[in-house]
Chains A and B, each alone.
Chain A
Amino acid sequence: MMSNNSNTASRQFVPTPAQPAPNMSAGFVAWVRDNLFSSISNSIITLIVIAFFVSVIPGIIDWAFISATWSGADQSACNKEGACWVFINAWSQQLFYGSYTDGELWRVNLCLILLALTVISSFTLPKSFRLKLSIPLFLVLPFICIAILDGRLLGLEYVDTDYWGGFSLNILMAAAAIIISFPFSFLWALGRRSQMPLARSISVILIEFFRGIPVLALFFMGSVMLPMFFSEGTNVDKLIRVWLVLIFFMSGYMAEVFRGGFQAVPKGQYEAADSVGLSYWQKTLLIILPQVIKVSMPNILATFVMLFKNTVFLLIIGIPEIVQTLQTALSNSNWLGGWAIEGYVFVFLIFWVCCFGMSLLASKIERDLDTDKRD
């Protein structure tokens, strides 16, 4: 019986402890097999890529870190084997702020902070008045910043636009242009969808004109052609001219972004608005616009990144943005050692960090705005 009992007990189901997966199907080895050596052709490609990295990366690390010179006062501290970060260090203020008056740099910083705060406020404010508050905030921001940077209106020391420059100028130019292009592009996009022939044809001509011309050609027009139309002695500041050009260029692109947004809003929304008796502008501003902004957000941000990178083209008309400043630095007779690689690597990095940060921000904003699919 005892044996019987124990037999019964032993018959009770006791699961065998799980065996670890075979080495070949889990863990690092399996990952390598699955992803890197899953077929002969994949294995060959993997080996080529590894060989490439092995041959290139140590050289880059050696150049950028091990043999590099980090501290010193001038180029005599540098050697030709490694990167000369002394060059970037010495020119960092110029590269970031341009020749903006030394003691007044806080004004540039203030503008950048205001810009950041406005951007943050546009998706952290309570929803009930977010749109009502952040749109006016955005629209006045460029003018506030111009007043701060220029200084005359606020009783600060006057800093001529010739002294504005560096990477901060890239950021502020791009931001100021895209913000002001919003209302223009919105109107152009409305005009393009309008039933009125005049409004429609004007919008189409403007949009296609500014979209059809390379931004470089537009810059030349702003810097070289526009002054010829003015009477002698009349000067519109070069930066303002270029800003206008950027605004119109951007408006052309953004109008198409918005048009896509208008088309994405279901027809029922228009009809519903009409049926409750809203006027054209009530319908557009209260019902359609919020939805348009929501669906267009990814494209708006992508366009902004494009514009931000396009601001380096300002160098060809001599605006001292970051690449122009870099070229100026490279042509200084005390820095003729050929430090172009260091300079451009620095510019790559700083742009990459900013653009990557913006795409992270963009995906966060998209998730916030994506109310449709939320349960």
Chain B
Amino acid sequence: MSWFADLLGPWRGFTVTWRQMFKPKLTTRYPKEKRVKPQRFHGRHALNRYPDGMEKCIGCELCASVCPARCIYVRGEDNPPDDPVSPGERFGFVYEINMLRCIFCGMCVEACPTEAITMTHLFEMSVSDRQEGIFTKDVLLVEPDGTPNHPLPDTPLIDIKELRLGDGWLRATSPSGRAEFEGVEAWSPSARMGGLAPAEPAQEARGESQESRVKSQEARTKSQEPRTKNQEPRGDGEEGTDD
């Protein structure tokens, strides 16, 4: 009966399109519905503050020097002794990011020693001329209560709720530069409303010795290996039954 199957072959394509008609659609009707973005989404930057309202930026210009697109311009200045802006010696006097050039790679976030610059989930940043594309400190800096700032009112297209979502930036090692986090992966989200993320317990506090931690890590990688091997691209099983 193989000749019969060959004869039907061209017609089976029609059953495929017929079935697809009744499947759920992949379209997200964007301004109406918004997808939940991945936690580490690279959106617009925010300059954070400490819970007491001090700016985290110390004007070190590491972000500017690491930026591959050369879109960050920072000028530091000495803190006024009577009214310091940041807890350090200096603070970011001028902080500008040219969003028309930014490639949202997140290198500035990685480079920042004080977690002053982080990324939010906001990606709707259209501007009407090139000058507006340069985001200055009064846009980037969060409000004293930790709320990210936006120059325009909250409309369906400028979703300030997105700005409030911390980016949950994954640091490979040593968040906040604390020695007890060496080698520990930790979530260190940007400052949301109210300031710092809850601190991860230090390794001593968790009662883990160096050895047990290494062991548990090995066990974790081993258990992950078969899973990655067996992982199939989505939708393949579906296609396989068709042919």
Do A and B come together as binding partners? no
